Chain A
Amino acid sequence: MEEIVKIRRLMNLHNKYGIMGILVIVFLKGLSNLLLSNFFRNNYGWQLPYAKSGCRIICIGSGKNNVNQRKKKYNTKVAEDIYPLV
């Protein structure tokens, strides 16, 4: 089982610089696709799996994320709130 906790720590995507980094990398990758050939026109047929048959593991107990920092809008209730099961 492939465990890539370290990748997450190296590229902490909760860090705004991490997100900017990813955006730049993917933008450049996309741009190169665009310039060299149209990626989506040629990306067809059966291929070897893009993602390996493994999983990524995060230990939530260590290095907790700051929810507020994400400015996420939660529109559902927390698990203690009840939907009446009767």
Chain B
Amino acid sequence: MTHTLVGDAQIILGLSYNYHDSAAVLVVEDDIVAAAQEERFTRRKFDNRFPVNAIKYCIEEGKVRQEDVHLIAFYEEPHLKLERVLETQTSFAPLNFIRNTKRIKNWIDNKYSVEDDIEYFLPRFDGKILFFPHHLSHAASAFYPSPFKEAAILTVDGVGEWGCSAISTGKENEIEMIREQRFPHSIGLLYSTFTQYIGFKVDSGEYKLMGLAPYGNAVYVNKIKDNLVQINNDGSIKLNIEYFDFMTGNQMLNERFCKLFGGKQRNSESPITQKEMDIACSIQSVTEEILLKMVKYAVEITGIKSLCMAGGVALNCVANGKILRSGFIEKIWVQPAAGDAGGALGAALLAAYKVNGIHRKTNGIIDKQKGSLLGPSFSNDKIKKLLEAYGFVYEEIPNEIWADRIALLLSEGKVVALFQGRMEYGPRALGCRSILGDPRVSDMQSKMNLKIKFRESFRPFAPVVLKEKVGDWFAMDVESPYMLLVSEIIADKKKNLSVNEQNFTGIDKLKVVRSEIPAVTHIDYSARIQTVDKNVNQKMYAILSAFEKLTGCPVLINTSFNIRGEPIVCTPFDALKCFMNTNIDAFVLENYILYKENQTDVLKDKNFAKGFEPD
């Protein structure tokens, strides 16, 4: 391996692991060279183990060696976390403390000693290890890559060391945390409790709860506010811990919680009823109310109207859209890897700007996240060798007709998987590991949900649109490059509903064609929008332009290249396995195209879908 870095450029490795979504990030000076989540390599969703594969990729991408790394920055402070774990248990002493002694011992043995892990997995590393507070790492991941010179920063998640949400200010190199709310009064944990009650997996199925919300009515809002959470005008909250079990138990909720909502939690495989939809709608409504109050308070105490957000709750793009439209702020930038994976980036950038003192420059327009395309890429040569080794039937597409060929297939109603360029960092596929479809086809949503993703039919799909055309289709006039803002379809593109259609309830609402692009129009006319900039993702931009030329529509369906419960594909091999075991019609890997009808049974596995635990 050649060491191409010159002089004494500071090489920083950011790490997050131990809880959920392990990740590694390589920063040279203040340039984000590489970033990836461990789950993509191990094929285990939200893998929380030491990110050994992600580190290996990062140091290879940066053309450096373990021993070249000057600093390792960890995204939280295990001392403080240990204090919280112990103090929580002792507060429920003596019974729970005795019951949980083994768990505390395991915690200390397995999660406390980060420096031991680093020494074991990176034996040639000989630099310093830096530990930053959890919410400071989130705040840094939101502010430093943003285009803003100064910003109010709101970080909201389940829990870090003690903090569950925090307000900070960012100005040039400096980030200062000014307020925080502490465990257990956490909006993230509240939302996760309802995720469990609805029958989805905690720390995984929260976005499904958000997608389910529009099917219901907010009839439980008062019950939630009267019994579970007190909401103050400044957005601070107080949970009634009598209804929760996450303090000392193995789950989020207890029997009292179930009794409040009239029965046990839903089994994950049983049908979703109107009750679950109403509960989802109610908790989403409460969450939005809390977040809007938090934002208002953050702007009041900082006096700054540019807002940066991170933390798992910042992935609630419905709430983000409402924050943008609230009038409290002028601009918003949300870290695309808003969950704990993004903490690795924040910690690395804190090391760069606060410890190494690199001067932060921004032009106020372009962010430093590079489209979040920070993962591995693969050359045509490597792909060709793999295709030949497995005997796939493929065709090469020259660059001149590459986008036109894909657009033509899409316009014919074909579902096309796309694998090009660097893998995305964060939970969203942004056009490099994506499955694309025609949003004008009314049954495309159910087809893609049931036959390709093998997931619930209610799940909405997101539109990807040319940046310049977003205002022609959606009620939004800002960029949303990371699919983190939700907005409505504009009135011109909506369709009038018959009286009968207006009376549909529950899942039946899916049958209604609501707009010119029904496959990406949720039942409340909303859409989780991704805008594409020519300078950030040229190939995706070319496909959208070619599709518009053919059809007059600059919008496509963009969903992640995976099935239910599977991490987004990382390598061509992962992608080929997914392609061969789903009903995707065509698969484009860089300059090669494969048609399903031409393939043999190579890599087919009837147990493929069973290999991934549903979320």
Q: Who on chain B is nearest to A29 by CB?
A: B87
Q: Footprint of B on A, CB under 8 Å?
A: 1, 13-14, 19, 22-23, 26-27, 29-31, 33-34, 38-41, 43-53, 55-61, 64-65, 67, 70-79, 81-86
Binds A, one of B75-83, B311-319, B452-460: B75-83
**A30 adjacent to B86 (CB under 8 Å):** yes
10 A-B pairs with least C-beta separation? A30-B90, A51-B133, A26-B86, A44-B238, A46-B179, A83-B53, A56-B131, A44-B185, A49-B177, A83-B41
Q: Are A77's CB and B52's CB within 8 A?
A: yes
Say yes or no: B182 contacts A43, CB within 8 Å.
Answer: yes
Chain B residue nearest in CB terms to A58: B129
Q: How far is the CA of A72 from the CA of B87 in the complex (A)?
A: 24
What residues on B are CB-neighbors of A39 within 8 Å? Answer: 87, 91
Are B66's CB and A79's CB within 8 A? Answer: yes
Interface assignment of B115: CB less than 8 Å from any CB of chain A? yes
Q: Are B56 and A53 in contact (CB under 8 A)?
A: no
Interface string of B170-206 (1 = CB under 8 A from A): 0000011111111111000000000000000000000
**A43 vs B239: C-alpha distance when bound (angstroms):** 10
Q: Is the CB–CB distance between B234 and A46 below 8 Å?
A: yes
Q: A56-B77, A67-B119, A86-B573 are in contact. Are A45 and B181 (CB under 8 A)?
A: yes
Chain A nearest Cβ from B294, distance in angstroms: 9
Distance in Å: Cβ of A3 to nearest Cβ of chain B: 10
For A85, the chain B residues whose CB sits under 8 A away are 57, 376, 378, 570-571
CB-CB under 8 A from B354, the residues of chain A are 1, 55
Tell me whether A71 and B109 are in contact (CB under 8 A). Answer: yes
Query: Between A and B, how many residue pairs show CB distances below 8 Å?
Result: 198
Q: Per DSSP, are chain A's interface residues mostly helix, strand or loop, or mixed?
A: loop
Tell me whether A34 and B133 are in contact in the complex, defined as CB-CB below 8 angstroms, given that A14-B113, A27-B86, A50-B80 are known contacts.
Answer: no
Cβ of A78 and Cβ of B93 under 8 Å apart?
no
Contacts of A44 in B (CB 8 A): 181-182, 185, 236-239
* Residues B163 and A50 in contact, CB atoms below 8 Å apart: yes
Cβ of A86 to closest chain B Cβ, rounded Å: 6
Q: How far is the CB of A50 from chain B (nearest CB, A)?
A: 5
A81 to B113, CA, bound (A): 22
Task: Give the distance in Å from the alpha carbon of A85 to the alpha carbon of B601 in the complex.
Answer: 23
Q: Is the CB of A40 within 8 A of B119?
A: no
Using a CB–CB cutoff of 8 Å, the interface residues on chain B facing chain A are 41-42, 49-50, 52-53, 55-57, 59, 66, 73, 77, 79-80, 82-83, 86-91, 93, 97, 108-110, 112-113, 115-123, 125-133, 136, 161-163, 166-168, 175-185, 232, 234-239, 241, 247, 297, 350-351, 354-355, 376, 378, 382, 385-386, 570-573
How far is B376's CA from A82's CA once the two chains are assembled, in angstroms? 14
Q: Which residue of A lies closest to B168 (CB)?
A: A53
- The answer to whether A29 touches B247 (Cβ under 8 A) is no
Pick from A19, A46, A52, A57: contact of B167, CB under 8 Å: A46
Q: Which B residues are in CB contact (< 8 Å) with A45?
A: 181, 232, 234, 236, 238
Given A45-B181, A49-B178, A30:B87 Cβ within 8 A = yes
Least CB distance, B421 to chain A, in whole angstroms: 15
**Chain A residues, Cβ within 8 Å of B57:** 85
Query: In the complex, which residues of chain A have a beta carbon less than 8 angstroms from the beta carbon of B235?
Result: 46
- Would A22 and B82 be within 8 Å (CB), given that A40-B247, A61-B127 are in contact? yes
Say yes or no: B87 contacts A59, CB within 8 Å.
no
